[in-house]
Structure 1
């Protein structure tokens, strides 16, 4: 069995709809989707039935989606290592392949590529702030903390990696334990983990979940397979997915931001192309078509004004 998992709350379920539709448009590949959620579920979801661990529905394409209430009060991003362990050990221990995508990601490539990738090692993508040398003073602090905690640094890594995607297998899932161990090591340096971030990059920890992912990659004895920031669409190249940084596409006031010099991003356009689709359609078609036209018009205008600059 192959499992895709994500985390969602409040309006991030709109992102989940786009994620699910984009996956279906690229071959689905997985057998089941498991969503960790908090707070109320959106009313536009299909009719839900009780499941072993929560609630479930089946998409028009025949894909089972199970919604499991998240046990934890940290900021959602910091719940990732614990959630992945729960998925691997409790919710789907029989799975052979696991894929996590943040619920604001849209997939751009064939889904079976992710299956090929994960056979080469734990699959991880570069962050937008990718340059992070193995001799970086903060990375050296992480290594010292790990060694003081009885861990061994097994991998010298250049680059900083994003926690918005992760792929692992039944054979490599001890990496999830490594991530939880790294998280525990860095937590005392993190500040208030009800916040996304507290400090800046000069501190030992900027974002606990993401820094600990990077430390786990340094500590693990499992094979890892790394692709740079192009994988998430942060730079040109192998754009496997689009991961919007900053304001999410469903929150942006495109016309106002355009007048302030910020035209819609490619990630915004791709989101609106996928928000309604073969598996979920949470918004009225008229609204979606209007937003698509607006994004395309303002992106064209943005190129024009840029050419005058």
Structure 2
């Protein structure tokens, strides 16, 4: 069985890439990580020009004997979140057609459990995790009814009676289920060309429209109409609520690498579990050291102080 991991980033989200890679290393992942990016690479990510596959400007960084990162510059005006499906399909079709499993993680995710679990998970269907916001989205919800119209408009039918809203920050796909990615890409194109959503933006409309978040709503619609099996976990699967053990997703802003923990604590915002886990994956015997030891110590100490302050200051 061969698996590859991919992600996308721009600007200072490269710090999140390091957290993701370190967590993969800790949990036993061995293999290639494909990173699509806009803009310039940070100094830590500078590698050697890659001639092993046809992607102009690509470079490869050997992280360990068992892990290498391929940095792939992207020429697209799309907001990167709207480019996920296309990127995954390009990897499978153009670079690694012999790959069995392909996993996408947002660059603000770290994984928490053994890597082999992910490979087991994806054998049950396309792996996905529920959102915490609007998670309860019944089959007769008006937005889902509008999504049904979208499904019929592209000549498909409902195959899964999904009742929860799914987070688009992660998915795992087995090659037998590549149809899921093809349908996801088609629905993103539908949002742009038929519903006139702006691909340069994360969101073009408010929640009363079928495509509030182009990528994520298209992902949810795909889950309804795909002919591939799907395998869902609740929001605890991303630490969006308590009890999780698979991965931790630092949703919202600011991100753990730029958050001011003490000032936030005085506003009633204590450090989150994803904050803690990001910095945990920056410490110890990790392959990517992108922060100085002094800065890591400062951040960890700041979190401890912020947790203490949080005993007295709480948001209502």
Q: TM-score, normalised by structure 2?
A: 0.92
Once the two structures are TM-superposed, the CA of residue 305 in structure 1 deviates from its matched residue by 4.0
Higher mean displacement: 144-153 or 91-100: 144-153
Which residue does the alignment assign to 1:132? Answer: 137
Distance 1:120 1:201, change over 3 A: same
- Compute the displacement of 1:46 (Å): 4.9
Among candidates 249, 256, 260, match of residue 253 of structure 1: 260
* 1:216 aligns with one of 213, 218, 222: 222
Question: Structure 1 residues 23, 190: closer, same or farther in 2, change over 3 A?
Answer: farther
Asked if residue 267 in structure 1 is aligned to residue 274 in structure 2, the reply is: yes
- Given candidates 299, 302, 305, the residue that maps to 2:307 is 299
Q: Which moved more, 1:118-127 or 1:58-67?
A: 58-67
Q: Deviations over 1:185-222 (max 9, x none)?
A: 22232532212113221122110000000111111111
Aligned to 1:73: 77
Residue correspondences, number: 307
In 1: Cα distance, 2:10 partner to 2:36 partner: 9
Greater shift after overlay, 226-235 or 40-49? 40-49
Q: 1:140-168 CA distances to partner (integer Å, 9 max, x unpaired)?
A: 11111221221222111100101110001
Supply the distance in 2 between the matched residues of 1:176 and 1:260 (Cα, whole angstroms). 41
Q: Which runs of 5+ in 2 are unaligned?
A: none
Match of 1:26 in 2: 27
Identify the structure with bigger relative contact order (alpha carbons < 8 Å, sequence gap 6+). 1
Distance 1:136 1:161 in 2: 15
Q: Which of 150, 160, 164 does residue 155 from structure 1 map onto?
A: 160
Query: 5+ unaligned residues in a row in structure 1: which ranges?
Result: none
Q: Are 2:235 and 2:241, in contact at CA under 8 Å, matched by a contact in 1?
A: yes
Q: Report the CA distance between 1:118 and its aligned residue.
A: 0.4
Residue of structure 2 aligned with 1:238, choices 232, 237, 244: 244
Shift of 1:174: 1.6
The match for 2:198 is: 192
- Rounded Cα–Cα distance in structure 2 between residues aligned with 1:231 and 1:61: 30
Q: What do the CA deviations read for 1:35-77 (whole angstroms, capped 9, x no partner)?
A: 1111100012253232323111211343121111123111110
Q: Does the CA-based 8 Å contact 1:33-1:66 persist in structure 2? A: yes
Tell me the distance in 2 between the aligned counterparts of 1:295 and 1:262.
11
User: Which residue matches 1:40?
Assistant: 40
The alignment's C-alpha RMSD in Å is: 1.7
8 Å Cα contact 2:197-2:214 kept in structure 1: no
